[in-house]
Structures are given as structure tokens and as C-alpha cells.
Amino acid sequence: MSKILFATLAVTLVFATAPKYSTTSVVTLAGAVMKAAEGVDVVKKHKRKDCPVCKGKGWYISGDGIKKIDCNYCEPENELEQTSNIIYR
């Protein structure tokens, strides 16, 4: 009986002591390693004619309706013929 009590007390003392350093950096580093292990997903862009954002125009009107924005959600069909449609005011 005394052996079980002594073992329980020893285990409690080992796990009850707080580390003398901050564990924030260890947890952050472990999270970064897990995130890096997942890899980066390559997002395929839509064809210009099938783009749901610009609907084949290559640009769309900003949310406040002030300017045109080049569409980054689709790939242009021919990069040499693409011209910028951004209007700076």
C-alpha cells in the first residue's frame, strides 16, 4: 500500500511542477511545423471565358462602384493582348 501511495505522490510531483520557461514558443513552433507539413495547395484559376467574377471581361467594378479592378480570379487567354483596365482617379 505504501508503494502505491509513494508512486502516486512521485507522479503527482513530476506532473505538477510548472516549467521555468514559457511554452508559447514551443506551441507556436509545433503549429508551424504541422502547417508546413500539410503543403501548399495550388489554386487553379478559371479560364477567362468561364470566370464567375468578371464574366469574361477581364475586369470587374469594385464593391463601392468607384473603379475597375483587373480580375485576378481567372487567367487571360493571351497575355500579350491583355491591357490594363484599371482607372486611377
Q: Does 22 map to a domain?
A: yes
Q: What confidence score (pLDDT) does residue 60 get?
A: 92
Q: Does 18 map to a domain?
A: yes
Q: What confidence score (pLDDT) does residue 13 get?
A: 65
Profile the chain (89 residues) by mean pLDDT over runs of 10 residues.
74 66 66 66 82 90 90 78 56
Q: What confidence score (pLDDT) does residue 83 get?
A: 56
Q: What confidence score (pLDDT) does residue 61 get?
A: 92
Non-local CB neighbours of 15 within 8 Å, separated by 6+ positions: none
Calpha distance 19→8 (Å, rounded): 20
- Residue 25 domain boundaries: 2-38
Q: What confidence score (pLDDT) does residue 35 get?
A: 65
Non-local CB neighbours of 50 within 8 Å, separated by 6+ positions: 56, 74
Q: Does 29 map to a domain?
A: yes
Calpha distance 12→23 (Å, rounded): 20
Distances (CA, A) of 36 to 27, 31, 41, 42, 44: 14, 9, 11, 14, 20
Q: Does 25 map to a domain?
A: yes
